[in-house]
Amino acid sequence: MISLILLAGGRGSRMGAPTPKQFLLLNGKPIARYSFDLFVSMGEISELVVVCDPSYQEIFSTHQKPLAFASPGPRRQDSVYNGLLKCDPRSDLILIHDSARPFVKKNELLDLIEAGLRMGAATLAAPVTSTIKQCGDRIVEKTLNRKSLWEIQTPQALLSPIIRKGFAEVQKLNLEVTDDVSIAEAIGHPVEIVPSSPSNFKLTTPFDLAIANTWIGYASI
């Protein structure tokens, strides 16, 4: 059994809009609904847990599979944990996705699910193509080898026992983590990278939204 937690509780202040970015319209449809509708259509996913403010719950509706809601927390990891508490305890694998990534692909999801079940923890990621320099006070300290660098995306996948054990460790040590597989890293569990497309980018700024509108038009040709 596979559960998916869709994180839709952020405020998206860098977008500069009164509406949280995940609920802005993209080609007439709320951004969060793009990935949500894909997940609903996939038989591999047994249930959905949407983490969002109650005032936005009406945006999500499905009669095709179980749907639950959880409240956002002050940090991303708190929102994930709230969503985890709503997941069916029988779930084998937990997927977590940022709702501001509308262009995730089904074939990449299937690859992620396979890796998550086999390895216990996995994440979609795109190889870094730009030159990356490590700096201190805007002075270059060294140039990093981009061949070993990956831009981490979502969804991320963790076996249920691993994410639960990892959260217990994170909470005990009062650690702050910025992505979900870091929870597995906290207990020394290996994480597999599943290569994905750069089109699975996160909409954060007005520029990202402009690119997304262009991509919608390009993808429909």
Give 77-131 pLDDT, tens digit per residue: 999 999 999 999 999 999 999 999 999 999 999 999 999 999 999 999 999 988 9
What gap in Å lies between CA 213 and CA 119, rounded to an integer?
36
- The count of domains in the chain is 1
pTM for this model (two decimals) = 0.91
How does strand 29-30 pair with strand 93-98?
unpaired
H helix intervals, the chain: 31-41, 76-86, 106-119, 160-173, 181-185, 206-219
CATH number of the domain within which 206 lies: 3.90.550.10
Average pLDDT score over residue span 63-71: 89
Domain that holds residue 59: 2-219
Residues 6 or more apart whose CB falls under 8 angstroms from that of 78 comprise 72
What gap in Å lies between CA 17 and CA 11, rounded to an integer?
9
What gap in Å lies between CA 147 and CA 40, rounded to an integer?
36
Position 15 confidence tier, pLDDT thresholds 50, 70, 90: low
216 has a pLDDT exceeding 90: no
What gap in Å lies between CA 60 and CA 143, rounded to an integer?
45
221 has a pLDDT exceeding 70: no
Q: 204 and 12 in contact (C-beta within 8 Å)?
A: yes
Could you read off the pLDDT of 131-172 as tens digits, one per residue?
A: 999 998 889 999 999 888 999 999 999 999 999 999 999 999
Average pLDDT score over residue span 42-48: 95
